[in-house]
Chains A and B, each alone.
Chain A
Amino acid sequence: MSGISQTPGNSRSVNESLPVRMLLIFTALLFLVLFLILPLVAVFYNAFHEGLPVYKQAITDPATIHAVILTFLAVFCAVPLNCAFGVAAAWAISKFRFRGKNALITLIDLPLTVSPVVSGTIFILIFGAHGLLGPWLSAHNIKIIFAIPGIVLVTIFVTLPFVARELLPVMTAQGNFDEEAALTLGASGWKTFLRITLPNIRWGLFYGVVLSVARAMGEFGAVSVVSGHIRGKTITMPLHVEILYNEYNFAAAFAVASLLTFVSIMTLGLKKYAEVKTARQNKELEDFMTEKRML
C-alpha cells in the first residue's frame, strides 16, 4: 500500500493508523463511485450500448442538430452579457466601499438559490399571454414566451451569478494595489483594466465563463417552463434528451446526453487547468515579492 499515505509534512502524532486510513478512503471513494462515477459511466454505456451507427444517427438527426444550434445560440447570447456584468459587478464591489454591498452580493446570488422552475414561472407570469406585459407584447406582435427570446432570457437569469461569483473573491483578495500603482503612474482607467486587472483575474474569469457555458447549455427546468416544446424550433439539448427519453428512444436520449456530459467533463478539466494556472501565478507573484524583499 505504498500508494496510500498521508500528505507530507504531517507528523506521526496526527496520523491515523493504516486500517483506519484505508477504511476512510474506501468509504469516501465508494460514495463517490456510487453517486458520481456510475451515473457518468451509465450515460456513456447507454449511449454506445446499441452500437456506433445508432449513436451517429442519433447525434446527426436534424432535430438533434437543431437543438445543438439553439443551445449554442442561447449560450452565445447569455454568456457575454453575464460576463460583462460579472466583470462590472466584481469591479464595483471589490474596488469600492459603499453602503448596501452585502445586499447587492445577495441579490447577485439570488438566481442560484431560486428553483429553476420558479425562475421560469416568473417569466411566464410577466411575458405570458395573461401576464403583466402579455397583452402589450401580443399587440405589438413580439413573442417572448414559447419562443427563442424566452429561452435566452431565462438562460441569462439562471447563469447570471457565475462570472461575478468567480471574480469577486479573486479581485477582493488582490486588492487595489496594482491598479493604484498603474493609475498613479498615469495610465488611463481602461488601460489599467486591460493591462493590470484583466491579466490578474484571467483564470478566474476563464473558469467563470466555462462554468456559465456549461450551466447555460444544461439548464432544464427554467427552459422547460418557457419553451413550448416545439420540435425543431424551441427545443434545447436537455429538452431534446427528455423528449427522446419519453419516446422510448433511450439510446438516442443517452447519445445526446453524452454530448452534454462531455461538455461537463471538459468543464471540470478546464477548472483544474485554471486552478493550476492560478496557483502558479500566485506562486510567481509570491516568489517575486520575496525576492524583492530580500533585495
Chain B
Amino acid sequence: MAGKRKKSVIPGFGLTMGITTGYLGLIVLFPLACLFFQTLDVSLDTVQKTVFSGRALAAFGLSFGASFAAACVNTVFGFLVAWVLVRYTFPGRFLVDAMVDLPFALPTAVAGISLTFLYAQNGWLGKFLYGLGIPSVYSRIGVFIALIFIGLPFVVRTVQPVLVNFDTQVEEAAASLGASRFKAFTRVIMPEVLPSAITGFALAFARALGEYGSVVFISGNMPHRTEIVPLLIMTRLEEYDYLGAQILAVVMLVLSFCFLFLINFLQYWGQRHHRMQECVA
C-alpha cells in the first residue's frame, strides 16, 4: 500500500484540515502551549513545594480517592442499569433510558445545589443518612455522592451497545453445555463486556477528577478534609497565588492527557477485541 496511496476523489481535504487545525491551534493548542511555556521557568523546588505540600497532597488524595470510589460504584451500577435496560422490558424503560444522560446535560451548579438540598441534614435523603450517623453533605461522602451523579452515564453508555450486539446464542450454547447461569455470566458475558466497562470506568474517573461545579456546593471546602484539586486551584487563584494555581493546573492537565491516551487505547483495544471475537466466530 505504501507509496502508492490512491488520491481520494473526495475534495476539501485542504479546506477542512485547515479549518480543523487552525481552530484547534487557536482555541486549544495555543493556550496550552502558553501554559506549558510559562511553567518552564518555574524551578523544580517550587513545583515540589506546591504539589507536595500537605494541603495539595490531601486534595490529590481526595480527588483520586473519591473519583475512584465513585467510578467503581458507577461501573457496578452502570453495568446493572445497562443490563436491565437491554435485557428486560418494564414499564417506563424508554423514559429511564432517556434519563440516564441527564448528568451530561444538567448544569453542574444545578446538580450541586439540588444534591446539597437532598442530602443535607434536613433534606429528603439526608434525614435518613444523618439518622444513621452518615454526614452526607459537607464531608468526603458529599464529594463522593456528587461524583457518582456526574459519572453515572459513562459506563451505562459504553456497556449498553456491547450488550445489545451480544449474541445470545453464545449464552445458549453455554447453557446447553451445562454451564450455570452464573458461570455463563462470568465466563461468557463478562469477558465480552469488560473492555467497554473499563473504558466507561476510565471516562467516569477522568470526568470526576476534574469536576468542580457540583462538588463545590456539597463539599464544604475544608482544606485537608473536603477540598478537591480543582477547588484548590480556585482557592489558589483567589489567594493571588498564581504560580501555585498554574502548577496545579499543569499537573491536572498532564493527568488529563494521560487519561485521554489511556481511554483511546482502551477503546482501540476494545474494538480489536471485538473484531477478533467476530473473526473467531
* Complex contact flag A–B (Cβ < 8 Å): yes
Residues in B whose Cβ lies below 8 Å from that of A126: 31, 34-35
Inter-chain contact A268/B176, CB cutoff 8 Å: no
Q: How far is the CA of A242 from the CA of B23 in the complex (A)?
A: 32
Inter-chain contact B84/A28, CB cutoff 8 Å: yes
Q: How far is the CA of A126 from the CA of B108 in the complex (A)?
A: 26
Among A102, A106, A179, the residue within 8 A (CB) of B10 is A179
Whether A267 sits at the interface, judged by CB under 8 Å, is yes
Interface residues on B, range: 35 or more
Tell me the minimal C-beta distance from A37 to chain B in angstroms: 7
Residues in B whose Cβ lies below 8 Å from that of A217: 107
Whether A290 sits at the interface, judged by CB under 8 Å, is no
Among B9, B149, B259, the residue within 8 A (CB) of A184 is B9
Inter-chain contact A110/B260, CB cutoff 8 Å: yes
Residues in A whose Cβ lies below 8 Å from that of B217: 245
Interface secondary structure of A, over-half rule: helix
Q: How far is the CA of A16 from the CA of B106 in the complex (A)?
A: 35
Inter-chain contact A14/B110, CB cutoff 8 Å: no
Whether A5 sits at the interface, judged by CB under 8 Å, is yes
Interface string of A190-212 (1 = CB under 8 A from B): 00010000000000000000010
Whether B134 sits at the interface, judged by CB under 8 Å, is no
Selected interface stretch from A50-58, A60-68, A81-89: A81-89
Inter-chain contact A39/B111, CB cutoff 8 Å: yes
State which residues 92-126 of A face B: CB under 8 Å: 92-93, 95-98, 102, 104-118, 121-126
Interface string of B204-227 (1 = CB under 8 A from A): 001101111100010000000000
Interface string of B245-276 (1 = CB under 8 A from A): 11001001100110111011000000000000
- Besides the known contacts A28-B85, A31-B77, 5 further A-B residue pairs in the complex with CB atoms under 8 A apart: A5-B88, A85-B19, A225-B234, A241-B110, A264-B105
Cβ-closest 7 pairs across A and B: A218-B107, A115-B210, A264-B105, A221-B212, A220-B213, A13-B175, A189-B11
Interface secondary structure of B, over-half rule: helix
Inter-chain contact A116/B210, CB cutoff 8 Å: yes
Footprint of A on B, CB under 8 Å? 5, 8-13, 15-17, 19-21, 23-24, 27-29, 31-32, 34-35, 37-38, 77, 80-81, 83-91, 94, 96-111, 113-115, 117-118, 124-125, 148-149, 152, 168, 171-172, 175-176, 181, 184, 206-207, 209-213, 217, 229-231, 233-234, 237, 242, 245-246, 249, 252-253, 256-257, 259-261, 263-264
Inter-chain contact B117/A46, CB cutoff 8 Å: yes
Interface size for A (C-beta < 8 A) is: 106
Greatest chain A CB density within 10 A among B19, B152, B259 is at: B19
Tell me the minimal C-beta distance from B188 to chain A in angstroms: 10
Whether A261 sits at the interface, judged by CB under 8 Å, is yes
Tell me the minimal C-beta distance from A46 to chain B in angstroms: 6
Q: How far is the CA of A279 from the CA of B264 in the complex (A)?
A: 26
Knowing A85-B20, A242-B109, say if A257 contacts B11 (CB, 8 Å): no
